[in-house]
Structure formats: C-alpha cells, structure tokens
Amino acid sequence: MDFLRPTTWEEALAAKADRPEAVPIQGGTDVMVELNFDVRRPEALLDLNRVAELREWSIAGGFCRVGAGVPYAAVIEELGGPLPGLAQAARTVGSPQIRNRGSVGGNLGAASPAGDSHPPLLAAGAVVEVESYGRGVRMIPAAEFYLGVKRSALEPDELIRAVHVPPATGPQYFSKVGTRNAMVIAVCSFAIALHPRERRVGTGLGSAAPTPRRALEAEELLAAELDWDAPLDPALLRRFGELCARAAAPIDDVRGTAAYRVHAIGVLARRTLTWAWNDHLEKRAA
Ligand SMILES: Cc1cc2nc3c(=O)[nH]c(=O)nc-3n(C[C@H](O)[C@H](O)[C@H](O)COP(=O)(O)OP(=O)(O)OC[C@H]3O[C@@H](n4cnc5c(N)ncnc54)[C@H](O)[C@@H]3O)c2cc1C
C-alpha cells in the first residue's frame, strides 16, 4: 500500500487527480477501523494531516468556514458560540480520543446516515466546499451532499476542503438517542436551528433514513404558522413532531427498530423545538 503525504492543498489535489483510487485519511477514526477489519484494502492512502490549512477555521462573509480537518475537540472548544448545534453534536461523538482525532470533514467523507455532524449542518444550512485539480471548486449545499448510505456527491478526484456554516442567529439544539451516553452510534438523532431573521426553522434528521435529511414539510408548517412573538402553540408543536416523524424512513437494525426510530424522532423534534423556543422567548424578554 502506498502512503502519499502531501504538505500543501495543491499537492493533495494533484495526488488525488493522479491516484483517484487513493483513500484520503484525516483523523483515521473511520479509515483505520475499516483497514483493521479488512473492510477495504486500498492501493494507496492519501494522508492529509500535513496540510495545515485543513485544521483552520475562520469567520467571514456571513459564514464560518471550518476546515475539513478541524477535529471535534476544536469545534467544542472554539466554535460553541457561532456554531452551537454542531458543537453540541461534537460533544456526543465517541470519546475524548475520538474527538481529538475525528473531524467534521471525515464525517462528511464517510457520509454515514448516523454521522452526528450531519443533522446540525442540515439545520443550519451548511455548504460543503469540495475541489478537484482539474475542475476547481464546487460548493455543494449539505442537503444535496448525501446521496445514499455512505454515498456522497464527492467525485473520485475531489477532496473536501471545508464546510461553510452560517453563524447562529438564534437558538440551536442537537439531541441523540443511544443505548448509552458515550461511545455510541446514534439510534437516531435530531437537530434544530431557529433563524429568527428569516422567520424560519431548520431541521436535520440523523440515522432515520438512508441519508441524513431535513423534515421539509415540518419546516414549511412552522414557516407558515409559527407566531414568533407568542408562546409555542401545543397543537402546532404536536403537528411539527408528527411531520418530523413522517419525514423519517428508517430500517430495523441492531441498534433499534424502524417503528422506535419514527417515534423517537417525533419526541426529539418536539423536545428540541421546545428548548429552542424557550431560549428564543427568554432572549426577547431580556
Ligand atoms: C470508537 C469510535 C466511536 C465513534 N463514535 C462516533 C460518534 O459518536 N458519532 C459519529 O458521527 N461518528 C463516530 N465515529 C466515527 C468517526 O469518528 C467519525 O465519522 C469521524 O468524523 C471521522 O473523522 P476522521 O477525521 O477520523 O475521518 P477519517 O477516518 O480520516 O476519514 C473518514 C472518511 O472520510 C474520507 N475523508 C477524510 N477526509 C477527507 C477529505 N478532506 N476529503 C475527502 N474525503 C475525506 C476518508 O477517505 C474516509 O472515507 C466513531 C468512531 C470510532 C472508532
């Protein structure tokens, strides 16, 4: 197995163009598990750890640009203010060791329906920056990035460079059901982001369909009927939960049944909207 070690982004893109079959490795918390269990035996690994810019983040032009290699630990420590939903999700990932190595870019690269970054990225309206040597940059909205179980819109000669996330303008929450509190793959998960300036609520479902997805009908319901100056109407909250549950299309597997997941998504949706709404009203009253 060849081990390619570019030191700049341009070298990394050139290596991927030259060897499209090379498997990128950032934190390695997915890749090394696959190698250890012989799930795949690539001809080459493309180690991105020497490309320093991938571990940087910045805020400009209405977006927080998070480099693909920024580990969860940095998201938690440094980005809890602008990206509270993503930071909450990051806190639930694996263990301290996994959060030190694992990255948001790696979560996107793996494109697992159970990946914890995806629901908050969807709810916030994130855009994934990918690039190839020959064709340049493509900006892919998160909602169009996930194509199937562990399949994304990334082409074989492309690498993920960063994810652009609008800094929060309202409360955001992430909630995850697991069989225990740490080191657990989500049975299902849900993220919510209030966008008060646009009078809009974003959603993201995890581990509840072949891909992470938004609950579009539920979002449309709130856009049409939510009174942003009043307490949350219990009937509206109930219908929101029902529409979120209806957006799920889960399977039975070792972690849970489809029926349980549908039920749990409805509960998480109601719960997170209630938390977010309480924060929203508190902030208005202050
Ligand atoms: C014990 C354990 C617990 C875990 N717990 C959780 C959990 O709670 N929640 C969760 O979501 N995940 C969990 N994971 C999975 C994993 O940690 C995450 O998916 C993590 O985000 C992967 O990031 P990484 O940097 O380690 O990716 P890597 O393993 O380096 O790569 C993952 C995938 O992305 C690709 N890739 C990496 N970087 C790029 C790039 N720049 N461009 C294109 N492709 C790229 C790789 O080729 C690979 O296919 C766990 C894993 C372990 C081993």
**DSSP secondary structure letters along 90-105:** HHTSS-HHHHHH-BHH
- pLDDT given at position 214: 98
Q: 10 Å Cβ neighbour count for 93? A: 26
CB-ligand 1 contact for 158 (6 Å cutoff) = no
- pLDDT given at position 92: 96
141, exposed or middle or buried, with CB in 10 Å at 0-12, 13-18, 19+?
A: middle
Element of type H or E holding 218 = helix 216-225
Tell me if 243 sits within 8 A of 235, measured CB to CB: no
Nearest CA, atom 44, ligand 1: 109
pTM: 0.98
- pLDDT given at position 267: 98
Looking at every residue in the chain, the average pLDDT score rounds to 97
Ligand 1 pocket mutation pick from 3, 5, 30 by most atoms within 8 angstroms of CB: 30
**How many helices and strands, by DSSP H and E, does the chain display?**
11, 13
Nearest CA, atom 8, ligand 1: 93
**Residue 10 predicted with pLDDT over 90:** yes
**Residue 42 predicted with pLDDT over 90:** yes
**Backbone phi and psi for residue 68, each to the nearest 5 degrees, phi listed first:** -60, -25
- Report the pLDDT averaged over residues 136-164: 98
Ligand 1 pocket mutation pick from 11, 29, 47 by most atoms within 8 angstroms of CB: 29
Bridge partner list, 159: 131
Kindly indicate the confidence band of residue 181, based on its pLDDT and cuts at 50, 70 and 90. confident
- pLDDT given at position 232: 97
- Report the pLDDT averaged over residues 75-79: 98
**Residue 184 predicted with pLDDT over 90:** no
Bridge partner list, 253: 256
Kindly indicate the confidence band of residue 182, based on its pLDDT and cuts at 50, 70 and 90. confident
Distance from residue 196's CA to the centre of ligand 1 (Å): 32
Alpha helices in 102-189 (DSSP H): 104-110, 118-124, 142-145
Neighbouring C-alpha atoms within 13 Å toward the C-beta of 49: 11
The encoded tokens of residue 218 equal: 């539920």
CA distance 227 to 238: 15
- Report the pLDDT averaged over residues 65-85: 98
What letters, b where the CB count within 10 A reaches 16 and e where it falls short, cover 251-277?
eeeebbeeeebbbbbbbbbbbbbeebb
Kindly indicate the confidence band of residue 170, based on its pLDDT and cuts at 50, 70 and 90. very high
- Report the pLDDT averaged over residues 170-174: 98
Q: What is the pLDDT of residues 106-137, one digit of tens each?
A: 999 999 999 999 999 999 999 999 999 999 99
Distance from residue 29's CA to the centre of ligand 1 (Å): 5
Element of type H or E holding 146 = strand 146-148
CB-ligand 1 contact for 42 (6 Å cutoff) = no
214, exposed or middle or buried, with CB in 10 Å at 0-12, 13-18, 19+?
A: buried
% of the chain exceeding 70 in pLDDT: 100
